[in-house]
């Protein structure tokens, strides 16, 4: 199965690898400095409107929506539908996303704009882990749920996913723990990862993902 999946998605894996190499070289050549005016402009918009109470709320929202809510929804769906194939595809989703995130962060090594005020696990900024995880997680979840849904319901799932991802992206920019270009990078990587995951489901698991309550 692993060989089959690798063969079916080889072009996407190569594109992903090339993207990581590109951004590594881009960082080494100080390419992100060229994008600094954009990052600085967005940073100033948020920093001019910061307040301590709102910052605490945004910090909580960032983790709650970006990580805990997504995990809670997935766990609830696993217990509700009891479909082993759903567990398989969601496991692949997290492994692939976190693997890409860790590799890219530690190869590109772009330092965060703000380190002193928050208990941040790592010092590297590109791409945004919260945004990438939320983008892939919520949109992949919307795709899975839409497999057996009508058109209006499908649209509703994707609209909700979009709102949640934008909320997470907003919190990372407001807290100034990521640059705007980190967010864009997350969306770029996320789109490619999502394409691979959907391709895997379409070719291997789609007919098996039938929601039946026991």
Tens digit of pLDDT for each residue in 102-151?
Answer: 899 999 888 888 655 555 556 788 998 889 999 998 998 898 888 877 88
Confidence of residue 167 (pLDDT cuts 50, 70, 90): very high
Q: Are 66 and 177 in contact (CB under 8 A)?
A: no
Tokens of 88: 């398989």
Rounded Cα distance between 86 and 92, Å, is 10
Question: What is this structure's pTM?
Answer: 0.85
- Mean pLDDT over the full length of the chain: 82
Cis omega (within 30 of 0) for bond into 192: no
Encode pLDDT of 179-197 as tens digits: 999 999 999 999 998 988 8
């Amino acid at each position: 199965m692993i060989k089959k999946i690798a063969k079916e998605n080889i072009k996407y894996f190569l594109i992903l690898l090339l993207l990581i190499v590109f951004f590594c070289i881009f960082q080494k050549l100080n390419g992100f400095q060229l994008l600094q005016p954009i990052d600085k402009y967005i940073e100033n918009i948020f920093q001019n409107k910061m307040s301590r109470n709102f910052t605490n709320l945004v910090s909580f929202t960032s983790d709650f929506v970006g990580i805990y809510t997504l995990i809670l929804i997935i766990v609830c769906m696993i217990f509700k539908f009891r479909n082993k194939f759903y567990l398989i595809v969601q496991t692949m989703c997290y492994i692939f996303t976190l693997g890409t995130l860790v590799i890219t962060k530690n190869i590109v090594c772009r330092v965060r704009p703000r380190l002193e005020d928050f208990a941040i696990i790592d010092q590297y900024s590109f791409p945004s882990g919260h945004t990438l995880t939320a983008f892939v997680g919520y949109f992949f979840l919307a795709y899975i749920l839409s497999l057996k849904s009508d058109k209006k319901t499908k649209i509703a799932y994707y609209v909700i996913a979009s709102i949640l991802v934008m909320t997470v992206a907003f919190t990372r920019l407001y807290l100034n723990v990521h640059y705007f270009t980190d967010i864009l990078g997350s969306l770029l990587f996320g789109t490619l990862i999502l394409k691979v995951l959907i391709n895997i489901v379409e070719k291997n698991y789609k007919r098996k993902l039938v929601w039946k309550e026991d």
